[in-house]
Amino acid sequence: MEVLPPSLRHSPWKALSKEDLEKQYSPSRWSHRLNAEEVIKAHVQVGKEVTKEVQASKKSVLGVSYGAGEGEKLDIYFPAKTSEELPFFLFIHGGYWQEGSKDYSAFMVPPLIAAGVAVAVVAYDIAPKGNIDLMVSQVRRSVLFIQKQYSFNRGIYLCGHSAGAHLVSMVLLTDWTLHEVIPNIKGSYLVSGIYDLEPIVHSYINDKLQMTLEDAQRNSPMFCQKEVQSQVTSTCDLIIAVGQHDSPEFHQQSLDYFQVLRLHGWRVSFIEISNVDHFDIIEKLMQNEYILTQTFPLHFLLLVFLV
C-alpha cells in the first residue's frame, strides 16, 4: 500500500471543535429544503415508494444471494429487451455504513432499464453487524458475482452514494488477479462520498462502527493507491459528483479525491450539481431530465450500439 505524501492530504478538519466536526459530517443539517429530521424521513419515504413500484416489475429478480452471508443479497432489474450482452449498473447505498437498505434505494431503475441497462441494487451488512473491512469485501463479491453470472456483459458500472461511494472507491483498488475473474468495470459514479475516514473516527458516527485509526487509514481510498490500480485505470471512467448543499467538508473530500485520482492516472471528471443536497442528489436519478440521469443512459447507449 502506497501512502500519499502529507502535502496531498486535506486535514483542516483537525482544527475544528468536536461540535463543528460533527456538524460538517451530519449531511442532514445542510439541507436547503427541510430540517435534519424531515429530510431523512422524506428520503426514506421517496425511496420506498419508487422501490416498491419497480420491485413489482415482472423483470425484477429479488433477494439474489451473491455470497453465503445472510445480508449478502442483491435485487436485479432487467430491461424489457434482454440479451447476454447487457451493460450492468450496480448501486451501493449510503447510510454511514450503519443505515440504509436496498429496499429503498432503487431510484435510478426506471430511466436505466428504459435505456436498456440492467440494474443491481446491492445490500451489505451494516454496522454493528458488519465492519468496514467486511462491507468492502461484500461489495467486491457482489461485483464478482455479476461478472461470473453475466460474463458476456457489455460493461459493469458502479455507483455509490455517500458511504456507498466510499465502498465503491475501495473496491476499485482491488487486486483482481487474486480472484477467479477480472470484472469488466467500465465506469464508476461516486456521489457525495467520503474518501478519508479519519474524521469519522473522532465523531459520533463511529459509535456503532468502532473503527480504529488503523482501520480508517487502511480503508481510506484518499491515501491508498496500490500498484494493481493500473488494472482498471485504463478502462474505467469515473465521475465524482457533489451537491451544492453538501457540507464544506464533503465538498473538500470530493475535490481532494478528484485531484488524487487525476494524479494517479484515472480518467476522472468532477461535477458540482446545483440546487441539490446530500439526499436529493441521488433521489433525482428517477428523473429523466436530471444531469446524472442523462449521463448514465447516454454513456450506456453509446456502448451498446456503437462498440
The answer to whether residue 278 is catalytic is yes
d(CA 45, CA 55): 15
Residue 55's Cα: distance from chain center in Å? 21
Contact call for residues 117 and 78 (beta carbons, < 8 A): no
d(CA 159, CA 182): 18
The closest alpha carbon to 199, from 166, 150, 174, 161, belongs to 166
Q: Read off φ and ψ for residue 52, nearest 5 degrees.
A: -60, -40
Which residue out of 75, 196, 215, 246 is catalytically annotated?
Answer: 246
The answer to whether residue 162 is catalytic is yes
Helix pair angle (132-149, 163-171), 10° resolution:
60
Residue 249's Cα: distance from chain center in Å? 18
Which residue out of 43, 166, 278, 299 is catalytically annotated?
Answer: 278
The answer to whether residue 246 is catalytic is yes
Half-sphere exposure of 32 toward its Cβ, with a 13 Å CA cutoff? 11
Which residue out of 137, 162, 188, 254 is catalytically annotated?
Answer: 162
What positions carry a catalytic annotation? Answer: 162, 246, 278
